[in-house]
Structure 1
Amino acid sequence: MSNSKIAQVRLGTNGPLVGIQGLGCMGISEFYGDTDEAAAGETLRTALAQGVTLFDTADAYGRGANEEFLAPFVAAHRDEITLATKFAIERTDDPHYRGVRNDRAYLRQAVENSLRRLGTEVIDLYYMHRRDPAVPLAESVGAMAELVEEGKVKHLGLSEVTGAELREAHAVHPIAALQSEWSLFSRDVERSAVGAAAELGVALVPYSPLGRGFLTGAFTDAGTQLSADDYRRYQPRFTGENATANAALLEPVHKIAAAHGASVGQVALAWVQQRAQVHSLAVVPIPGTRKASRLLENVGATRLTLSQDELASLEPIAGQVAGDRYPDMSSTSTARE
Structure 2
Amino acid sequence: MSASRTALTNVNGRVIGPVGFGMMGLTMPWAPVDYPIAVKVMKTALEQGANLWNGGIHYGTPQANSLHLLKHYFQKYPEDASKVVLCIKGGFTGMPNGPTNTPEGVRASVEEATIVLDGTKTIDIFECARIDPQVPIKTTVKALAELVKEGKIRGIGLSEVSANTIREAHAVHPISSVEVELSLFTPEPLYNGISDACHELNIPLVAYSPISRGWLTGDLRTIDDLAADDKRRMLPRFKPENFDQNFKLVEAVEKVAKRKGVTTAQVAIGWVCRVGGIPIPGSVREERVIENGKAASLTEEDMAELQRILDTLAVSGERFGGPHEKFLNA
Q: Scaled by the length of structure 1, what TM-score is found? A: 0.87
2:299 maps to what in 1? Answer: 307
The C-alpha deviation readout for 1:128-162, integer Å capped at 9, x for no partner, is 21001210111000000001000111111000110
CA contact (8 A) 1:219 1:243 kept: no
1:55 alignment counterpart: 53
Structure 1 residue aligned with 2:198: 197
| Residue 219 of structure 2 corresponds to residue 221 of structure 1 | no
Moved more, 99-108 or 315-324: 315-324
Describe the SS at the equivalent of 1:175: coil
Contact 1:176 1:202 in 2 (8 A): yes
Percent of aligned pairs sharing the same letter: 35
Distance apart, 1:18 and its partner CA: 5.1
Runs of 4+ with deviation above 6 angstroms: none
Out of 315, 320, 327, which is 1:331 matched to? 327
> Shift of residue 105 of structure 1?
0.8
Aligned to 1:111: 110
Q: Distance in 2 between matches of 1:194 and 1:153?
A: 25
The one-letter amino acid of 1:225's match is D
* SS across alignment from 2:176: strand
Moved more, 198-207 or 74-83: 74-83
Structure-2 change in CA distance of 1:52 and 1:119 (3 Å): same
Q: Which moved more, 1:34-43 or 1:128-137?
A: 34-43
- Checking the alignment, whether the CA contact within 8 Å between 2:252 and 2:309 is kept in structure 1 is no
User: Which consecutive unaligned segments of at least 5 residues does structure 1 have?
Assistant: 1-6, 277-282
Aligned residue runs from structure 1 range 11-160, under 5 A: 11-12=8-9, 14=13, 15-17=15-17, 20-25=23-28, 27=29, 29-30=30-31, 34-64=32-62, 65-75=65-75, 76=78, 77-91=80-94, 97-120=96-119, 122-160=122-160
Give the deviation of 1:189 after TM superposition.
1.5
Residue 139 of structure 2: SS of its match in structure 1? helix
State the distance in 2 between where 1:90 and 1:18 align.
32
CA distance in 2, matches of 1:235, 1:317: 23
Aligned length: 310
Distance 1:314 1:208 in 2: 18
Deviation at 1:287, TM superposition (A): 0.3
Gaps (5+ residues) in structure 2?
none
Of residues 159-168 and 234-243 in structure 1, the stretch that sits farther from structure 2 once superposed is: 234-243
CA distance in 1, matches of 2:214, 2:281: 9
User: Which residue in the other structure is 1:10 paired with?
Assistant: 7
How far residue 98 of structure 1 moved from its aligned partner, in angstroms, is: 4.6
Taking a change above 3 Å as real, the CA distance of residues 57 and 8 of structure 1, as seen in their structure-2 partners, is farther
Does the alignment pair 1:251 with 2:251? Answer: yes
- 1:176 equivalent in structure 2: 176
Separation in 2, partners of 1:117, 1:90:
17
Structure 1 Cα separation of the partners of residues 5 and 114 of structure 2: 26
User: What amino acid is the match of 1:115?
Assistant: T
* More deviation, 260-269/13-22: 13-22
> CA offsets, 1:152-205, max 9 Å, x none?
111110001100100000000000100000000102212111100000010000
Among 315, 319, 322, the residue aligned to 2:316? 322
Task: Spell out, residue by residue over 1:310-337, the C-alpha distance to the aligned partner (whole angstroms, 9 max, x if none).
Answer: 211211444500111111311101xx4x
- SS of 1:330's partner is helix
The aligned residue for residue 208 of structure 1 is: 209
